[in-house]
């Protein structure tokens, strides 16, 4: 009965949105609403534009002033004058549809608003993280050729967790510094030391999960700042480096402590060397695997399964390296007094902070010179 | 498993390895650094490889290889060996078997 086309409705009637787009969203539902009524006089091509209060008024105006009042809404007089109750029903349906449409639009707009706020919040976090000088992915992984790869959810989660880890780390370092400058009980200090140790152990746990998701990501150190990456050894810091950084910072040590530390340095170095050589062997065997068969014929790795197994072994190496870091920290904690351990953890924390700051300075210096 | 019992109770340091396992290689390097010449059993060349693996796991090794035995007793896998060494407890354990020159 009523034939109306979307083109006849001027944009201002539907507010700020593109009329065509909007009808694409809501128009189909009107079609289904209408066709469900089973009314003989309605054909599927009739789309009722009814998401505007004004339109509703027009419809009611139309009924009171007769069908000729709004020519772009009503087609032929004949069909409407013959069935007044059908008109009423149709008007009611229109009002219903209009109401539903308004509610849907409201929900959609609210969704947009929430997303917009989320986006602003995320951008702020990103800026803050970048200022702190560590690598933050832009949501899409790119390999060296600049080709986008879909972001691994395990890695995305890890990067976010690591960001929080750094923030917490900075807080703990600050607290240690403040507390050591004043008077503090051994009990309180022990608590701080335990918290700091646990914080490192949390990192190793996070890395283990990330290594399962993408071991190459952990190995590359891309989640760390550039200066930290320079010192990377199997996905993290060298345990022997840790000892080198810490040792000059201890005040008086007993003879037993000196002996214990000496032994720890040696065993740590031996364990590190063993793992390094294991890694080298892994590289050699993988290279042999990849170069297997005949190169130059455009064929793939003949024993690709064995190559994949080698890569699986990388996960074990990363875990072993972290285990070594864990044990080194644990042994230092055992050998030192609480106060010494607190000083040591503060020194270690500040060392990494300096590395991160150095990376930041380097990045900005690079920018200024271009 | 008898075979494992027999092999592991040999004198000195016994390590069950797989030829493809690079962590096993790392553990061997460590013992060599500590002047120990361990007896190596490469289980992947053994026809009973699967059974040996299962037996090693049953005995309590965290990963089947490397499985390190000292003086007939299970020390463990890479994790356990590294922890022992850093705590200073490994060297006293293997001292009777340090045969290699400095």
Q: Which residue of B has its CA nearest to A324?
A: B82
Q: What percent of chain A has pLDDT over 70?
A: 70
Crossing angle of helices A53-65 and A84-131, rounded to 10°: 170
Torsion angles phi and psi, residue B13, rounded to 5: -95, 125
DSSP state of A8: G
Proportion of chain A in helix, strand, coil states, percent, rounded to 5: 75, 0, 25
Chain B residues whose beta carbon lies within 8 Å of the beta carbon of residue A204: none
The pLDDT assigned to B9 comes to: 86
Between CA B55 and CA A336 the distance in angstroms is: 41
- With H, G, I as helix, E, B as strand and everything else as coil, classify residue B81: helix
Whether B83 contacts chain A with CB within 8 A: yes
Torsion angles phi and psi, residue B87, rounded to 5: -85, -5
| Chain-chain contact of A320 with B23 (C-beta, under 8 angstroms) | yes
CA-to-CA dists, residue A171 to A176, A187, A199, B43, angstroms? 9, 20, 12, 50
Chain B residues whose beta carbon lies within 8 Å of the beta carbon of residue A320: 23, 26, 78-79, 82
- Computed on alpha carbons and rounded to an integer, the radius of gyration of chain B in Å comes to 13
The pLDDT assigned to A311 comes to: 86
| Chain-chain contact of B23 with A277 (C-beta, under 8 angstroms) | no
Tens digits of residue pLDDT in A168-206: 999 999 999 999 999 989 999 999 999 999 999 999 999
Q: Which residue has the tokens 């005995």?
A: B59
Dihedral (CA of A195, A200, A205, A206) sign: positive
Q: Which residue has the tokens 């040696």?
A: A266
| Chain-chain contact of A274 with B27 (C-beta, under 8 angstroms) | yes
Q: Is the pLDDT of residue A38 over 70?
A: no
| Chain-chain contact of B25 with A316 (C-beta, under 8 angstroms) | no
Torsion angles phi and psi, residue B69, rounded to 5: -120, 135
Q: What percent of chain A has pLDDT over 90?
A: 49
| Chain-chain contact of B23 with A316 (C-beta, under 8 angstroms) | yes
Tens digits of residue pLDDT in A248-269: 777 788 999 999 999 999 999 9
The shortest CB-CB distance from A328 to any of B29, B63, B86 is to B86
Chain B residues whose beta carbon lies within 8 Å of the beta carbon of residue A306: 20
Confidence of residue A4 (pLDDT cuts 50, 70, 90): very low
Q: What is the mean pLDDT of residues B39-50?
A: 91
CA angle A210–A214–A218, rounded 5-degree value: 65
Q: Is the pLDDT of residue B82 over 90?
A: yes
pTM, full prediction: 0.68
Tens digits of residue pLDDT in A340-358: 999 999 999 999 999 999 9
The shortest CB-CB distance from A267 to any of B20, B78, B88 is to B88
- How far B88 CA sits from the closest chain A CA (Å)? 7
Beta strands in chain B (DSSP E): 13-17, 39-42, 67-70, 73-76
The pLDDT assigned to A132 comes to: 58
Between CA B39 and CA A227 the distance in angstroms is: 43
DSSP state of A106: H
Residue B15 backbone zone (phi > 0: left; psi -120 to 50: alpha; other: beta): beta
Do strands B39-42 and A148-149 pair parallel, antiparallel, or not at all (unpaired)?
A: unpaired
Chain A residues whose beta carbon lies within 8 Å of the beta carbon of residue B27: 274
Chain B residues whose beta carbon lies within 8 Å of the beta carbon of residue A323: 78-79, 82-83
A-B interface: how many C-beta pairs under 8 angstroms?
74
Chain A residues whose beta carbon lies within 8 Å of the beta carbon of residue B25: 277-278, 281
Confidence of residue A282 (pLDDT cuts 50, 70, 90): very high
CA angle B77–B81–B86, rounded 5-degree value: 150
Q: What is the mean pLDDT of residues B7-22?
A: 91
| Chain-chain contact of A271 with B85 (C-beta, under 8 angstroms) | yes
| Chain-chain contact of B26 with A285 (C-beta, under 8 angstroms) | no
ipTM: 0.94
Answer whether B56's CB lies under 8 Å from A309's CB.
no
Q: Is the pLDDT of residue B48 over 60?
A: yes
């Amino acid at each position: 009965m009523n034939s109306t086309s979307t083109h006849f409705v001027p944009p201002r009637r539907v507010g700020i949105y593109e009329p065509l787009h909007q009808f694409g969203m809501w128009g189909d539902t009107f079609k289904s609403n209408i066709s469900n009524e089973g009314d003989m006089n309605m054909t599927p091509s009739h789309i009722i534009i009814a998401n505007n209060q004004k339109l509703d008024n027009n419809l009611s105006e139309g009924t009171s002033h007769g069908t000729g009042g709004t020519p772009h809404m009503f087609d032929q007089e004949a069909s409407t004058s013959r069935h007044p109750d059908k008109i009423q029903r149709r008007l009611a349906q229109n009002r219903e549809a209009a109401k539903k449409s308004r509610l849907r639009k409201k929900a959609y707009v609210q969704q947009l608003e929430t997303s917009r706020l989320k986006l602003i919040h995320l951008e702020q976090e990103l800026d803050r993280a970048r200022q702190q000088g560590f690598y933050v992915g832009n949501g899409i992984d790119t390999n060296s050729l600049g080709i986008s790869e879909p972001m691994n959810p395990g890695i995305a989660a890890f990067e976010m967790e690591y960001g929080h880890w750094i923030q917490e780390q900075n807080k703990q370092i600050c607290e240690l510094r403040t507390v050591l400058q004043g008077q503090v009980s051994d009990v309180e200090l022990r608590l701080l030391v335990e918290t700091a140790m646990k914080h490192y152990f949390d990192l190793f746990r996070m890395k283990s999960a990330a290594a399962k998701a993408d071991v190459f990501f952990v190995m590359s150190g891309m989640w760390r700042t550039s200066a930290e990456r320079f010192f990377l050894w199997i996905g993290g810091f060298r345990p022997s480096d840790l000892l080198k950084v810490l040792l000059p910072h201890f005040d008086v040590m007993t003879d037993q402590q000196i002996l214990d530390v000496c032994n720890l340095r040696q065993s740590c170095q031996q364990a590190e060397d063993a793992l390094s050589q294991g890694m080298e062997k892994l590289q050699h065997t993988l290279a042999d695997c990849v170069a297997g068969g005949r190169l130059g014929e455009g064929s793939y790795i003949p024993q690709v399964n064995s190559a994949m197994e080698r890569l699986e072994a990388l996960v074990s190496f990363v875990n072993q390296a972290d285990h070594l870091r864990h044990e080194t920290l644990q042994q230092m904690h055992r050998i030192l007094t609480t106060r010494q351990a607190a000083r040591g953890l503060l020194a270690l924390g500040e060392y990494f902070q300096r590395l991160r700051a150095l990376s930041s300075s380097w990045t900005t210096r690079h920018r200024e010179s271009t | 498993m008898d075979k494992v019992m027999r092999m592991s109770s040999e004198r000195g340091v016994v390590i069950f390895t797989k030829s493809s396992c690079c962590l096993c290689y790392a553990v061997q390097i460590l013992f060599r650094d500590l002047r120990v010449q361990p007896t190596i059993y490469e289980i992947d060349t053994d026809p009973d490889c699967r059974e040996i693996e299962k037996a090693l796991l049953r005995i309590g090794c965290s990963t089947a290889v490397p499985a390190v035995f000292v003086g007939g007793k299970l020390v463990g896998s890479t994790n356990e060996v590294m922890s022992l060494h850093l705590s200073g407890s490994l060297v006293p354990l293997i001292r009777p078997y340090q045969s290699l020159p400095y």
